[in-house]
Amino acid sequence: MGSGASVSEGARPGRLDAGEAEAEPGRASTPAGRSDDTLQVNACHVSRAAAEQSQRLNPRCVLCPQAEEEAVKPGSPIMEVRSLKSEQSYTHKSGEEDRAAHTVLSPAETVAEGEEVSLDFESFLHNNGTLYSCFNHHGNRVYVDESQNLQPFPKEWYNQGRFITANSEGSSQLQTPASSQPVVREDDRTGSIYIQGRGTVMTYMFEERVNVCRFWDPQSGVWLLLPLQWEINVEFVKDRVQRVMSTLPGLVDQKEITAALRQCNYDPEEVVSVYLTMFGEILLQAPPSGDHNYADLNSFRALLERDRVIEDLRQKLQTKEKEVDSLFQRNSYLAREVRYLTDVVQHLNQKLAELEADQQEAREKIRSLLNRRAPPVPPSRTNTKPTVDPGQLQQVSRLTRELNVSNKQLRSTVHQAMTDMKNQLEQLKGAVGKLAQVEQEAAGEVEELRSLYRREAVERKSLYNKLLELQGNIRVFCRCRKSPASSSCLEKTDNQEVVVVQKGSRKKFHFDKVYPQSSTQEDVFAGTLPVITSCVDGYNVCILAYGQTGSGKTYTMMGSKENPGVNIRSIQELLRTCAEKEKVSYTLKISMLEIYNDTLNDLLTKSPSAALDIRVQGKSVSVPGLTQIQVQTEADILSVMETGEKNRKIASTKMNIQSSRSHLVVALEVESSDEVSGLTSRGTLTLCDLAGSERISKTEAEGQRLVEAAAINKSLTALGQVFSALKCNALHIPFRNSKLTHLLQPCLSGDAKCCVFVNVSPDMKDVVETLSTLQFGSTIRQVSLGKATQNIVPAKNNKSAKQTTN
Ligand code: ADP
Ligand code: MG
């Protein structure tokens, strides 16, 4: 932040905060405690949802009668509104108007010498659905209109919408008196558990759409969702977990079983059958002792088993394909043989015909000779000498006999040869027929194997996805920036907990992982690694960095050349995963844009055209006109990103803005096509370095700086609102309240996996911002997205593929 630290103690308006953040006992004495107020915001969300659902499904179970009643009250912020002296002075379109704005908003008028007060923004949600950023100046409220101009806040609007601030939502609407006791029926679903730091609290198993276990929080006077860690100790749940464990001794992680029970509406039989289906008989045996992560291991083992089955199938497929090949070869060899033998038979037939002709000729000769031997002349008296020599005659008749014999022999030989040949031909024909049949069978088997392979591949993906879902679709990591200062406001107690120490009070926050100052870029990247595979599998994946300027967002996301951050590493991992899969071809496309003052700027074009807009078609969100560049290697991607960075610098210099005042979004679209199964899928990896979340101080609050601060406030508030709505399973998620959330919609709704880094500074002077950043992170952590769906389309019909970015 600028020169001085903000001293405002109040909750940051427009920001949604953590309900999960635990407070130390005694914290309640903090004056105007930010944490108290903020806790109520979430408590109200929960209580409203709980009240509505329980009223709907269990009319006799009256939980928070006040909640119902007060939910219908319009927001009634009490504020003094004085009319503006000159409405014109608040707009700043032209130079003159700009000057006017400067005069009116001059810090000297409002802030006493040496006093540094931060400017508090409010967000006003108009009934028409638009979210406006507002703030007070000289007791007059102004708002930032659609064209980023400051306008006096219209009086009539007070009845046309409501302010989303911690105070108005938390205190005036849904609060139930802390002393009130819940009204519930006494049955086996009523229970109580002891929670450290809170004492014994009451639990009740609600019959909602699915059963949800909540506990009564007397402090905020609402039913809060029981965290998994606590839920394990509820009798109702414990009993069911035990039942699952006794059936499946292989399952030892009670937390995992509890999570599974939640998914299966607390039906142990269903959990057992789901696990048996997923992991098979292996769970029927007890795990080897000392194996703490057995359940997790099992998931991985099942995954490995799937991989092995796929590998087996692939090999079988290959052998079958080879068999078919050799059958084809044999078939063509036999066909050649048949042709050859047919030729031989033909040739022999010819020979036979020739021989028969010869024989015929010989017979003719013999007949004529015989005729000559005995001429049909009448006996004459004259004693004439016989015309033929008897010796010659004898010779001829011997010859004839011999000829006859050889003729017979020849005939029988030919006949024999013919019969043999015919037999052989018959056999060959039979063999060819059989071969064709075998070939058909083999082709059928190959097709079967192929479909098996396809199914296994899809199941592997869904199994992997389930594994990730078990860990949560939104994962929130906290990273503390390295600081040379010796005193730090942050203490890391374990891998998942961080404590903020401020003026002797301690406040704990929990995250999926807390990265201390000493953590390396590799450590940090390891947390996001599992979701990268998910992107290759066709899911939308998003990695966000949130925090005040200077807290290490850009360092975490981009890093330096020598020590790259999550961006480069995830892209490297993506390319590596793609290269690993031989039978799958991938197309990668990259786009890069900046959101400044709620306007999208393409960073990959030299000649930026008119401002980009977001288009929605069904569930897909696209940005028509946004440059997308196809990339193949890491070098391609790096050079594209360098271009984008350069363009960002040029644009920011031209417009005189700092890069920390805009959101940077890098989107990588991965389209895959599996050659074996024919399936195609499309996932997007969205990497987002958000603008600094800090409040601006009143001394800096003028002109452009004020407008951009309002835009940042609005977009981050909208982001918080989206997470909050997701947390309540609200029917309407207000994605359209800002360009940022609208653009990120595909990464934040059902389809997606999201990793959020909350970057914090350990410096004492930043403690207020650090607290508010951690509270934001805690809120997000309570969100679990709906069941993810893969963007998979069957082969030849990929027109209906979901599109995430243009
Ligand atoms: P932001 O993007 O949130 O404004 P930066 O990433 O620019 O913050 O970080 C501010 C400064 O702190 C940079 O000089 C950066 O190199 C340094 N820095 C941030 N985090 C770390 C870290 N974990 N280790 C070393 N230096 C860091
Ligand atoms: Mg930065």
Task: Please tell me the distance from the alpha carbon of residue 705 to that of residue 3, in angstroms, as a whole number.
Answer: 15
E strands in 154-231: 161-164, 190-195, 199-206, 212-217, 222-225
Read off the DSSP letter of residue 23: B
- The residues whose Cβ lies within 5 A of ligand 2, an ion, are 553-554, 660
Mean pLDDT value of segment 627-639: 92
- Looking at all shown ligands, the one closest to residue 551's CA atom is 1
The alpha carbon of 519 is separated from its chain's Cα centroid by a whole number of angstroms, namely 26
Q: What does residue 39 show for φ and ψ, rounded to 5 degrees?
A: -60, -35
Exposed e or buried b per residue across 256-272, where buried means at least 16 C-beta atoms within 10 angstroms of its C-beta: bbbbbbbbbebebeebb
Q: pLDDT-based confidence at 591, cuts 50/70/90?
A: very high
Ligand 1 atom nearest to CA at 556? 6
Q: Which residues, listed in sequence order, are joined to residue 134 by a DSSP beta bridge? A: 122, 143
Distance 805 CA to ligand 1 centre (A): 30
Question: Which of 19-28, 324-333, 505-514, 530-539 holds the top average pLDDT?
Answer: 505-514
Dig out the tokens for 699 from the structure: 């001394």
Pocket flag, ligand 1, residue 121 (CB < 6 Å): no
Residue 384, pLDDT score: 55
Ligand with minimal distance to 550 CA: 1
Position 68 confidence tier, pLDDT thresholds 50, 70, 90:
very low
- Give yes or no for residue 54 CB within 6 A of ligand 1: no
CA distance 92 to 144: 11
pLDDT, mean over the chain: 74
Question: What whole-number distance in Å separates Cα of residue 253 and Cα of residue 243?
Answer: 13
Short-list 477, 667, 494, 685, CA closest to 578: 685
Strands 199-206 and 792-793: unpaired
Q: Map residue 781 onto helix, strand or coil.
A: helix
773 CB near ligand 1 (under 6 Å)? no
- The gap from C-alpha 694 to its chain's centroid, in whole angstroms, comes to 30
Looking at residue 545, what is its pLDDT? 97
Q: What is the distance in A from the centroid of ligand 2 to the CA of 689?
A: 7
> So what's the pLDDT on residue 15?
38
Q: Is 304 exposed, middle or buried (0-12, 13-18, 19+ CB in 10 A)?
A: exposed
Convert the pLDDT of each residue in 329-352 to its tens digit.
888 888 888 888 888 888 888 888
For residues 434-472, one letter each, b for 16 or more C-beta atoms within 10 angstroms of the residue's C-beta and e for the rest, the string is: ebeeebeebeeebeebbebbbebbbebbbbbbbbbbbeb
The residue type found at 104 is V
Residue type (1 letter), 763: D
**C-alpha span between 776 and 42 (Å, rounded):** 11
Q: Which pLDDT does position 150 carry in this prediction?
A: 83
Ligand 1 touching residue 565 (CB < 6 A) = no
**Measured in angstroms, how far is the CA atom of residue 47 from the centroid of ligand 2?**
37
On the CB side of 262, CA atoms within 13 Å amount to: 20
With beta carbons less than 8 A apart as the criterion, state whether 773 and 548 touch: yes
Nearest ligand by distance to the CA of 552: 1
Name the helix (H) or strand (E) containing 572.
helix 566-580
